[in-house]
Amino acid sequence: MEATGAAALSETFVMIPSSVKIVDVGPRDGLQNEKQPVDTAHKVELVHRLQAAGLREIEVTSFVSPKWVPQMADNAAVMAAISRQPDVRYSVLTPNLKGLEAALPTHPDEVVVFGAASEAFSQRNINCSIAESVERFAPVVAMAHENGLKVRAAVSCALGCPYQGEVSADEVEHVVKLMKAIGVDHCGIADTIGTGTPKRVQAAMERALKHFPLAEVSGHFHDTYGQALANIYACLEMGIHHFDTSVAGLGGCPYAKGATGNVATEDVVFMLNGLGIETGIDLDADTPHSAAGLELPDQVAKIGVFHGGRPSMSRRRRDRITAGAAGNDRSPAAGSPDSQAHQPH
């Protein structure tokens, strides 16, 4: 009986990867909803701190209309000011051809597109069907590939929607197949409003893995109900080893009342360290930038990258960041050509 139990336990952990890739989305997904303008220099400094701490994939900014996302109006300036490291990949979100055309001169390593798994979310926020929204990205993907760029797709609202509630694995697979059809290279499954739980996350990931190789499937989790780390562990059990996180838990979904920020990079690295999984990120790194703290306006008091491996600190920062954040349930750009620009994942 003991041997059987040991064998079952071994099978459970056989897929756990020995290393994990982390994309810190804080500079883009984390800052885009800040009410007060964040200086370009502070955004650049945040990127520098992240790479100094060992982050090798950073989502820097979004090439969107400043009318809808004024916080990202300095996108080109941020990209130009970064002191790039050869082993770091810098990605940007490009919601349409206009955005990609603006991004190309800044030389990103990767671009990000997105589509909701919820028909209700797509209709409510961008006034078109899921199929129509994904088809709009086909020329973006084609042009990105022509310019030698990798395209990462994010399937938002994959575990829940503020309008329809639970989202099924069938609905997730529908969008995954559409993304595959337009030629994206990577598929990320995003729990935009943070309502996913491990079993449902694994069901959604199984659908993504039917159409993309293991190395090209990732998870993006918000921590509204404190499930993000459990959901990441559920992915690890499947061998998935690529995750989006955000320093200090920055971010949130402006269209889902009560939704908190992305899972904190610090919390994820702390857990992975405990599991003996390599990330290349040093929570105790004494970088030239880490001691002073990074001053940002609005809800963000200080972000120190990092804080000696104390995950509770990221939660306290996240509380400050999300406190008082408006819970608008509809994009201000709904129905406009640029409306996709402001959709979070």
For 295-308, how does the pLDDT look when each residue is reduced to its tens digit (9 = 90+)? 554 434 445 566 55
pLDDT at 285 over 80: no
Positions marked active-site: 253
- Whole-number pLDDT of residue 125: 82
Query: Is the residue at 275 inside a domain?
Result: yes
Task: State which of 8-22, 47-61, 257-271, 317-331 shows the largest mean pLDDT.
Answer: 47-61
Number of domains in the chain: 1
Query: Is the residue at 285 inside a domain?
Result: yes
- Whole-number pLDDT of residue 82: 98
- Whole-number pLDDT of residue 256: 58
Q: What are phi and psi of 32, to 5 degrees?
A: -65, -25
Domain enclosing residue 173, as ranges: 16-330
For 96-121, how does the pLDDT look when each residue is reduced to its tens digit (9 = 90+)? 999 999 999 999 999 999 999 999 99
- Give the chain's mean pLDDT: 84
User: Going by C-beta distance under 8 Å and a sequence separation of 6 or more, which residues neighbour residue 152?
Assistant: 91, 110, 111, 112, 113, 184, 185, 186, 188, 218
Q: Which of 49, 31, 37, 18 is nearest to 246 (CA)?
A: 31
Query: Is the residue at 118 inside a domain?
Result: yes
Buried b (16+ CB within 10 A) or exposed e, 175-198: bbebbbebebbbbbbbbbbbbbee
- CATH number, domain containing residue 250: 3.20.20.70
Token pair 């190309």 is found at: 104
Q: What is the dihedral of CA 239, 242, 245, 251, to 10 degrees?
A: -110
- Whole-number pLDDT of residue 34: 83
For 246-276, how does the pLDDT look when each residue is reduced to its tens digit (9 = 90+)? 999 988 766 655 567 899 999 999 999 999 9
Complete DSSP assignment for 230-273: HHHHHHHTTT--EEEEBGGG----TTSTT---BPBHHHHHHHHH
What mean pLDDT is predicted for residues 21-25? 97
- Whole-number pLDDT of residue 296: 52
Q: Which of 113, 120, 104 is nearest to 138 (CA)?
A: 113
Which is higher by pLDDT, 189 or 37? 189
- How far apart CA 55 and CA 88 sit, in angstroms, is 7
For 223-251, how does the pLDDT look when each residue is reduced to its tens digit (9 = 90+)? 999 999 999 999 999 999 999 999 999 88
Query: Is the residue at 6 inside a domain?
Result: no
Q: What is the dihedral of CA 295, 297, 302, 303, to 10 degrees?
A: -90
Complete DSSP assignment for 36-47: SPPPHHHHHHHH
Query: Is the residue at 299 inside a domain?
Result: yes
Q: Which of 152, 212, 151 is nearest to 176 (CA)?
A: 212
- How far apart CA 331 and CA 345 sit, in angstroms, is 13
The whole-model pTM stands at 0.85
pLDDT at 325 over 60: no
pLDDT at 9 over 60: no
Query: Is the residue at 26 inside a domain?
Result: yes
- How far apart CA 219 and CA 201 sit, in angstroms, is 9
Query: Is the residue at 129 inside a domain?
Result: yes
> Interior CA angle at 264 toward 25 and 251, to 5°?
50
What mean pLDDT is predicted for residues 160-184? 96
